[in-house]
Amino acid sequence: MIRSDLIRGHLDSIILRLILEQDRYGYEISKEISLRTNHRFQIKEATLYAVFQRLEKKELIESYLGNVSQGGKRKYYTITTLGKAYLKEMIEEWIETKEIIDLFMEGLN
């Protein structure tokens, strides 16, 4: 299992990336994270909704109600233009960070 504190600082970017691909609702995002990481990383619902609130407050995402399904309307999230620009910056920052960490961590197995 991956230590969640290593990933926590990147949750905004991960969630923005998933929403960039297509508008999504909360449960769908948590399922997708679990699926793509082969169940090695799972996001808690409370954490996920805290990220949504933070991203909405910063105007990086917007929410809207979808069609009625299974008893209620789902709240979907879409990325804003500002969110796309922010994600691009975060990706560039990650690439640089990864290169620096790789300098010290590679070849020690």
pLDDT tens, the chain, 109 aa long: 566 677 778 899 999 999 999 999 999 999 999 999 999 888 988 999 999 999 999 999 999 998 777 777 889 999 999 999 999 999 999 999 999 999 998 876 6
What CA–CA distance (Å, rounded) separates 72 from 74? 6
Q: Which domain holds residue 48?
A: 4-105
Question: Tokens standing for 57?
Answer: 């407050």
Q: Which residue has the tokens 């640089």?
A: 96
- Give the pTM: 0.86
In order, the DSSP letters of 21-80 are: HS-EEHHHHHHHHHHHTTTS----HHHHHHHHHHHHHTTSEEEEEEEEETTEEEEEEEE-
Q: What CATH number has the domain bearing residue 16?
A: 1.10.10.10
Q: Which residue has the tokens 């923005």?
A: 16
Number of domains in the chain: 1
